[in-house]
Structure formats: structure tokens, C-alpha cells
Amino acid sequence: MSLVALMGAAASLAQEVPQAAPEVPQAAHVITQPDYSMVNCSGFVTDQKVAEGIRLISGEQSNYKITFTFGDYIYINRGQDKGVRVGDRFTIVRPAEYTNDVPWFKWQEKLMKVMGTPYLDAGQVRVVNVQPKVSVAQVTFSCEYMQRGDIVLPYQDRPAPPFKDAAAFDHFAPVSGKPVAMVVAGKQNADVYGKNNTVYVNLGSSQGVKVGDYFRIFRYQGSRAETVPQTKDYQYMMYGFGSTPQRYEWNDLPREILGEGLVLNVARNSSTMMITLSSSQIYAGDYVEIE
């Protein structure tokens, strides 16, 4: 076969190869609400007495295990005599006292006392076997490790409120005129926060807050109870910045809006807030207002 014939056959085959269809771009997945872990691992602060009668008392392989997590079998001190049934669900929590050696801002300890006791969400369990005085439950959802002595509460569903459109955030929003409070503390004793962090605020149902509300987070200019470590008047004393012909007052300056957050949990004098947007670092001691 001649070279010309071979080239012609190759060209013919090339023409018969079907062309790949153009790829259709996939629509971006839009997250419309906090996920299950964010809602159910957020913790809470309450000044109400939490029922402490039901406890995690032990678990399988307890001769060497001191903590329990997803899939493990744990024992609780309630059984047939107290009406526990297979399939019952419980939430495991424990107190999480603020343990930092030095308060981050001036009023932190006093505000925490008014808000109540912070509790950590450890996870959830489902009863799989019931004995006369104890029950066996399996860990079905885990936020943190579980340990002996943890408090066992009847499971209550927590709603996942919808997110606002981030594009609607107003960096220069006027004062809302609604109650103002502070970011008092954060989950796991954190004092510095950003997007998706969980914090606790000293506004609650007594002040009209409800799950799904939004807080605007802001900072006043010139505050000396501020949370960012700094030397008083450092701009002028340390760096020699110039001054204006006419002295201005700090109250004349706009507040600095740092972000906003969604309320996930509400108690009488406190709220659990997920920070959904932050334009800079947020500290314990920064202010919030109901939007």
C-alpha cells in the first residue's frame, strides 16, 4: 500500500472519531445553614440548674480506657427501674469552667458569673441494652471525648437556623438601637476568634434573643478597656504621629464593625453565637448588638 493511501486512511479515521461533548460547569454548592456538628457541638452557658442525676458511670474495656468516643459502649446509671428503653437517645455534657489564669478583659469574670456555667457538648448516645438498674448505650455522635462522671441529658433536637447572604453585610451599618452586650468568652477558653468560631455573649432570652437572630460585632475607637494589647496613646507617644489643628473626641469617630454571627443556642442570660463573617480578629471584650 502506498504512503499516500495510508495517509488518506488515517485522515478518514481521524474524521470519524467523535468529538467530546463540552463540559457543563457544575453549579457551586451553596451552604445555607450550619452543619450538624456546628450546631450540636457548640456548647452553652446557663444560669439554670442542669439535671445531674443521670451520669456516665463506666464503659466497655474500662480496665484501661479512661475516655470513650464514637462507636464505644458506655454505661449509664439508669435502667428498667427508671423507665429507660432501647432506642432512647441522650446528650452527654460536662461543665467547662473558664480556666485562664488572667481575665482577658476587665469585666470577664463578673459577666461569666452572671451568665452562668459553661457546658461542653461531648456528644450523643443511643441505648442498645437495658438492665434492671443500668443501661448500655453506644456513642453515635462525638464532639469531644466522654469520661466517667459526665452528665447525661435527654436528647433535644437543636434547629439549624439559616445563614444570611454574606453580600448583605454592611461594614458601616448604623447603630441598630437594640440591646448591646459583649463577646464574653469562647469555646474551649479561647479569647481570640474568627469565622466559624463559637463564642458566648451576655444577651439571652430575657433580652429578647432567639435562635436564628444575628449579632453585629463591633469595637469602639479609643476604648482603654480594649482587648487588643497596646500601650496607651502609643501612636503619639511611641511613633510621634502628628495631631490635628482641632482636638477631636473619640466619640466623634465611627465604631469599627468587625463582623457578625448567628445565634445557635439561647439561655436566660446568654447566647451561643457562631461567627459567620469577620473582617479582622475578634477578641473577648468586643461588643455586639442585635441586628
Q: What is the pLDDT of residues 263-288, one digit of tens each?
A: 999 999 999 999 999 999 999 999 99
What predicted TM-score, i.e. pTM, was given to this entire model? 0.81
Q: Are 237 and 231 in contact (CB under 8 A)?
A: yes
Residue 119 has pLDDT above 90, yes or no: yes
* More confident position, 192 or 90: 90
Residue extents of the structural domains in the chain: 30-236+249-290
* Helix, strand, coil percentages in the chain from 3-state DSSP, rounded to 5: 15, 30, 55
Q: How far apart are CA 192 and CA 73, in angstroms?
A: 36
* Grid coordinates belonging to 37: 456538628
DSSP category for residue 255: P
* Mean pLDDT within 67-76: 97
Residue 255, burial from CB neighbour count under 10 angstroms (0-12, 13-18, 19+): middle
Q: How far apart are CA 137 and CA 115, in angstroms?
A: 32
Give per-residue pLDDT as tens, 11-50.
Answer: 454 455 556 566 666 656 778 899 999 999 999 999 998 9
Residue 227 has pLDDT above 70, yes or no: no
Q: How far apart are CA 238 and CA 283, in angstroms?
A: 24
Supply the mean pLDDT for the chain.
Answer: 86
* Grid coordinates belonging to 189: 477558653
What are the strands, taking DSSP E only, across the chain?
44-46, 56-59, 73-76, 89-95, 117-130, 135-142, 151-154, 180-186, 192-193, 198-201, 214-219, 256-266, 271-278, 282-283, 287-290
Q: Is the dihedral of CA 200, 205, 206, 207 positive or negative?
A: positive
Give per-residue pLDDT as tens, 201-224.
Answer: 999 999 999 999 999 999 987 665
Residue 76 burial (CB count, 10 A)? 24
Q: Residue 124 has what pLDDT?
A: 98
Q: Residue 251 has what pLDDT?
A: 75
